[in-house]
């Protein structure tokens, strides 16, 4: 009897063990099948991306369209959307919506019935990180499965009123430890409910999608950078066209100029043009437009055109600046202004009549003085005030004798800095050019630039640098019986 019971117990234990083993085998087989299906689906996902997303059409929106098409199809879902996180304000917005995707924020006023209108409305919504079921998934970095949407408090009533929602799956887009958004899908076709296995597959696809999104963003950033660089190159070439191709060649004078923007394009400029048809009076401009880069270049082009128009036939630099200010004040924004020195070189009388609109002082190197001479007639920058306030601008006349040099510059020269934020400064600049009185204008400019390089020790230039130098020849004729001959110069 006892033996029979013992054998019966052994048989029962073996049977239980056998059932457990079979159940374990079935679970392992199911897990293997699930992993195989998951891997196969991921491979198909990557293959679909590779086929449809090429270097000729790679962009974020098309990539997200491909991602959502595949995920909605393979999840057998009725609708889906991908939300991306804006790192600047920590808010999510739907970038792609497929099917009748419900409003998952507690927003009222959804009375639209057409799918495209609903999609556009959902795309306009901004979801703060951590708010609503979408914001929760992005904030936690964890997938969410809602098996009974009607009784889940995280699903807003407006969504349930608008659409019949049975179940929802949401998976974060995580790449290199950073969350860039979430993917959400709603309602399995045929009335079924999403399962944990479905959520595992969505999470695997979301991981691949996140990597794709990061790759496309990097590509977009690179393409945008290349586009901007190309535009800057074009703007740089355009700005070079606005500067004189060479300095005027006038008997009795050496004239040199230099301009180097801190960026590809800048707001500094200089210009030469004859005011009169007899080519006796040479207009000389040096200016510094507020701002750098493309905005500064655009304003510079406008200023150049304005000065040339109002200067023709006018021998009063003050009056030219007065007219230019009137136009520029009306045509520019409040935060735009222009410092300028505009003068007229009388190539016969050897005088330089000029006016200053808040610009750096004009520097003269005299033969009979060891120091430089500064000329700073009163003036205020262009486009800052109306003409009734601009009217106090003064005009000065600077006589130039043989062997003397007049130099104009922008503040980028004296404000050049080293890596300790020390400025080059006016004193060093004035001492340098005072010791260069025997040099030609081009040599003075070259010597100044070399000294700035020594001072800054290669520290990046932070402001545009522009210089203009005019020297009367040592053997310039004292006689004023004839007007010097001016060689044609590109104006």
Q: What is the DSSP string of 309-359?
A: HHHTT---HHHHHHHHHHHHHHHS-TT--EEEEEEEEETTTTEEEEEEEB-
Q: Is-contact 123 93, C-beta < 8 A?
A: yes
List of residues 6+ apart from 73 with CB closer than 8 A: none
pLDDT tens series, the chain, 491 aa: 555 665 666 665 566 556 565 666 555 544 444 444 444 444 444 445 444 454 445 577 777 888 888 888 888 889 999 999 988 889 999 988 988 888 887 654 545 455 556 777 888 888 999 888 999 999 999 999 999 988 888 888 777 766 788 999 999 988 778 888 999 999 998 889 998 888 888 887 887 778 777 777 777 777 677 777 776 677 667 677 778 889 999 999 999 999 988 776 677 889 999 999 999 999 999 999 886 666 767 788 888 989 999 999 999 999 999 999 999 888 877 778 999 999 999 999 999 999 999 999 999 998 888 889 999 999 999 988 898 888 889 999 999 999 999 999 999 999 999 888 899 999 999 999 999 988 999 999 999 999 999 999 888 877 889 999 999 987 655 444 344 444 433 33
Return contacts of 329-334, CB within 8 angstroms, 24+ apart.
Answer: 329/382, 329/383, 329/384, 329/385, 329/386, 329/387, 331/302, 332/299, 332/302, 332/383
Options 2.40.30.10, 3.20.20.70, 3.90.1170.50, 3.60.40.10; which CATH number does 239-472 get?
A: 3.60.40.10
* Domain boundaries for CATH 3.30.450.40 within the chain: 40-220
Q: Is-contact 32 195, C-beta < 8 A?
A: no
pLDDT score, position 358: 93
pLDDT score, position 483: 44
* CATH 3.40.50.300 applies to domain 40-220: no
pLDDT score, position 17: 59
List of residues 6+ apart from 312 with CB closer than 8 A: 275
pLDDT score, position 301: 83
Q: Is the dihedral of CA 172, 173, 176, 179 positive or negative?
A: negative
pLDDT score, position 333: 77
DSSP H or E segment with residue 108: none
The C-alpha atoms of residue 425 and residue 80 are separated, in whole angstroms, by: 63
pLDDT score, position 335: 78
The C-alpha atoms of residue 210 and residue 171 are separated, in whole angstroms, by: 10
pLDDT score, position 484: 45
Q: What is this structure's pTM?
A: 0.59
How many residues does this entry show for the chain? Answer: 491
* Domain boundaries for CATH 3.60.40.10 within the chain: 239-472
Q: Of 39, 92, 44, whose CA–CA distance to 67 is shortest?
A: 44
pLDDT score, position 18: 60
Q: Is-contact 387 322, C-beta < 8 A?
A: yes
């Amino acid at each position: 009897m006892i033996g029979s019971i013992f054998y019966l117990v052994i048989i029962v234990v073996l049977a239980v063990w056998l059932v457990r083993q079979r159940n374990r085998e079935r679970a392992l087989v199911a897990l293997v099948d699930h992993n195989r299906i998951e891997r196969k689906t991921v491979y198909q996902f990557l293959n679909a991306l590779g086929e449809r997303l090429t270097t000729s059409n790679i962009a974020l929106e098309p990539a997200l369209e491909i991602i959502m098409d595949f995920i909605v199809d393979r999840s057998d879902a009725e609708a889906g959307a991908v939300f991306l996180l804006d790192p600047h304000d920590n808010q999510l917005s739907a970038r792609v919506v497929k099917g009748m995707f419900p409003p998952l924020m507690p927003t009222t006023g959804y009375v639209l019935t057409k799918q495209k209108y609903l999609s556009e409305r959902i795309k306009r919504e901004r979801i703060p990180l951590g708010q609503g079921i979408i914001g929760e998934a992005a904030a936690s970095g964890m997938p969410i499965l809602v098996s009974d949407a009607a009784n889940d408090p995280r699903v807003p009533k407006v969504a349930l009123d608008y659409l019949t929602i049975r179940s929802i799956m949401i998976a974060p887009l995580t790449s290199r430890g950073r969350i860039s958004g979430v993917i959400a899908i709603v309602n399995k076709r045929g009335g079924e409910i999403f399962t944990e296995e479905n959520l595992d597959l969505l999470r695997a696809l979301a991981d691949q999608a996140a990597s794709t999104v990061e790759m496309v963003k990097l590509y977009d950033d690179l393409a945008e950078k290349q586009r901007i660089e190309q535009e800057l190159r074009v703007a740089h070439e355009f700005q070079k066209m606005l500067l004189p191709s060479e300095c005027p060649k006038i008997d009795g004078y050496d004239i040199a100029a230099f301009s180097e923007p801190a960026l590809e394009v800048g707001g500094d400029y200089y210009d030469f043009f004859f005011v009169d048809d007899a080519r006796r009076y040479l207009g000389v401009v040096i200016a510094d437009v507020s701002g750098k880069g493309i905005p500064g270049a655009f304003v510079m082009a406008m200023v150049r055109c304005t000065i040339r128009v109002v200067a023709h036939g006018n021998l009063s630099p003050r009056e030219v600046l007065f007219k230019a200010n009137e136009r520029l004040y009306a045509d520019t924004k409040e935060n735009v202004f222009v410092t300028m020195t505009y003068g007229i070189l009388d190539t016969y009388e050897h005088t330089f009549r000029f006016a200053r609109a808040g610009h750096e002082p004009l520097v003269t190197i005299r033969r009979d003085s060891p120091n430089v001479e500064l000329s700073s007639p009163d003036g205020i920058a262009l486009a800052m005030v109306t003409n009734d306030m601009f009217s106090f601008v003064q005009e000065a006349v600077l006589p130039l004798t043989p062997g003397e040099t007049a130099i104009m510059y922008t503040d980028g020269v004296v404000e050049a800095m080293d890596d300790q934020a020390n400025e080059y400064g006016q004193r060093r600049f004035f001492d340098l050019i005072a010791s260069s009185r025997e040099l030609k204008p081009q040599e003075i400019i070259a010597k100044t630039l070399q000294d700035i390089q020594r001072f800054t020790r290669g520290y990046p230039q932070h402001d545009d640098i522009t210089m203009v130098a005019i020297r009367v020849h040592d053997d310039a004729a004292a006689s004023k019986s004839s007007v010097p001959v001016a060689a044609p110069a590109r104006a």
